[in-house]
Amino acid sequence: MTLRGGAITIGALLWDDENEERKEWRDNHLRYKDRFQVYLPIRYGRCSKTRKCTYTMVFSNECYSEANGLGTGWILPIGAEIRSFKRLKVEAREMGKAEGFSDGFSSDWGSVALLLNPNKEIESSIRTKWAGLMSSKISNYSLLEHWKSEQPPIESNGFLTIEWPEEVTPKDKVERLDFLIATVTVPTLCKGEYPTVDRIVDAMKRAKYCEYFCRNREYEITTFQDERILALIPKSDPQPP
């Protein structure tokens, strides 16, 4: 068994150099220069204390609806060939550690998740072993209780529920991969609903902080909300690209 994998990055994991674990993860485990852009179901939806209570990125299956829309993020190929489940587990744990999960895989605010390429024949033992590893973690943290109005982006066995992504500029890079890993973070909902654009912008205004949004724009991580957010950010604030 030899598998090729990639890491989906939709926020600070891509551009944060101040966090040493994130930088070390990108430098030592991923092929950053070979990254490529894909369409993803992402939006601003998690109120983050580490970002001055402004909203950070989450996966959301509601983004597949016409009322919303897909955003763009990046896939960074994993440098090592995966020749065993043990090695896959190592790569997943390193991503989780870079995100800050206490045990390297999950916490009460998120989890590492696995997505297998539906167009590849992959040993069934990979699915079985991943489910065995993650099911108790997901259950212990009651992660699935956080999504009220949509299919959660993560299953109870730790698999990502989003569709296999399409490249923004098709070059068949994503189809060469056997699997993707990502970190799913839980949204901050109000009466079961995601924050409106007004609420997202108000949070940035109160905190006088739009660095997360601006850096995402700089690195071409986008959502269906971006244009409306840009229209509401005061002109005196730093303007994203």
Domain limits, the chain: 5-232
DSSP 37: E
What is the model's pTM? 0.94
Per-residue confidence (pLDDT) for residue 192, from 0 to 100? 87
Give the other-Cβ count within 10 Å of 120's Cβ.
Answer: 14
**Chain centroid, CA 72 distance in Å:** 11
| 185-241: pLDDT as tens digits | 999 998 889 999 999 999 999 999 999 999 999 999 999 999 999 999 876 555 555
The rounded distance, in Å, linking the Cα atoms of 63 and 40 is 8
For residue range 62-81, list pLDDT tens digits in order. Answer: 999 999 999 999 999 999 99
Per residue in 28-47, pLDDT tens? Answer: 999 999 999 999 999 999 99
Q: Which two tokens stand for residue 52?
A: 């001055």
Residues 123-141: pLDDT tens digits? 999 999 999 999 999 988 8
pLDDT of 237: 53
Say if residues 146 and 109 touch (Cβ distance below 8 Å). no
H-type helices in the chain, by residue range? 12-15, 20-29, 85-99, 124-141, 197-207, 211-218, 226-232
What pLDDT does residue 238 have? 55
Pull the structure tokens for residue 6: 């990639």
